[in-house]
Amino acid sequence: MPRRLLSARELFEQQRDRLALRWLAGQDGGDRAIEAGEQSSHRPSLIGYLNVIHPNTVQILGREELAWLDSLDARQRWETLQKIVGFGPLALVITRNQGCPGDLREVAGESRTPLWTSAQAGHELLTQLQYVLTRALAPRLTLHGVFMEIYSIGVLITGDSGLGKSELALELVNRGHRLVADDAPEFTQIAPDVLDGHCPELLQDLLEVRGLGIMNIRQMFGDTAVKRNKYLRLIVHLVRAGDVTDPEGLARLTGETAARPVLGLDVPVFNLPVAPGRNLAVLTEAAARLHILRAKGDDPAAAFLARHSTLLDRSLP
């Protein structure tokens, strides 16, 4: 997997308008960057108010932080400023367009440390940049399949080539469900138990079906037929009917279910056999409904097995 980097210049350009950012000094350091996963091995957070003990990747200087610097004598202040830039932060940000101390601007310029000012308050900067940095640097994985929104949950349809994943997706779109991404959806772990899936820009709104070629789903079915992103909750894996194991055993009651690790999280999987005459669109919809029921604590198979056990107990002498 290629390294993913976020540079100070990229972050500035992305958030300049939203946070009313201005670049005060250290423009030569715009190429300094942070790598995805780098922050996980360090104690400091990605962003926070000025901390000279455990420095944050992006350091915010509000009124209190600037007042604290002003309280230091000349020697302590210079040593502290040298220590701040010596940690190599991605950027320093002054809040509420406060005046920038001349010595801070000088130190930032000499050390090529990006120094910005923003019209926003510190808590607004903290919230927005924390969100942006967390998503940009979160673990990410590309999987092969078609990612859909079915009954409000994200469902990834996988299987070997030629089993009809795209045809199934087209049928589901025609039945009112929404396409997120075809062929190569990207998944990002944005929380300990949340995987967000979205479509690469190159493949946006497109679905490729053998015999028909590439189709623009948004143009053919309208804006409501596509969705920008969705949380991954379920995988429907298409398998050839001859590859199904234990067709007469417990799987007849519970379904061909399993789990697949994705970025360290176990995602439930329904294995659907593909055979002539089977309506895969209806089966996929049923799998989504069944998953929703199980997530609420209602498992029809478990309830049936419990009834069966109770009946057996009653029949014993």
Q: For 74-119, write each residue's pLDDT tens digit.
A: 999 999 999 999 999 999 999 999 999 999 999 999 999 999 999 9
Cβ–Cβ under 8 Å, residues 263 and 187: yes
**Architecture of the domain spanning 140-308:** 3-Layer(aba) Sandwich (3.40)
For 17-21, 35-39, 312-316, which range has the lowest pLDDT when averaged over its residues? 35-39
Pairing of strands 58-61, 33-35: unpaired
Residues 6 or more apart in contact with residue 263 via CB below 8 angstroms: 139, 140, 141, 187, 189, 195
Residue 139: predicted pLDDT: 84
The boundaries of every CATH 3.40.50.300 domain in the chain are 140-308
For 141-154, write each residue's pLDDT tens digit: 999 999 999 999 99
pTM for this prediction: 0.74
Cβ–Cβ under 8 Å, residues 260 and 145: no
Match 């609420």 to its residue by tokens. Answer: 296
Domain 5-137 has CATH 3.40.1390.20: yes
Q: Is the pLDDT of residue 25 over 90?
A: yes
Residue 43: predicted pLDDT: 47
Positive or negative torsion for Cα 159, 161, 166, 167: negative
Q: Is the pLDDT of residue 254 over 70?
A: no
Enumerate the active-site residues.
Answer: 144, 165, 183, 252
Cα 63 from Cα 128, distance rounded (Å) = 19
Is residue 275 very low, low, confident or very high in pLDDT (cuts 50, 70, 90)?
confident
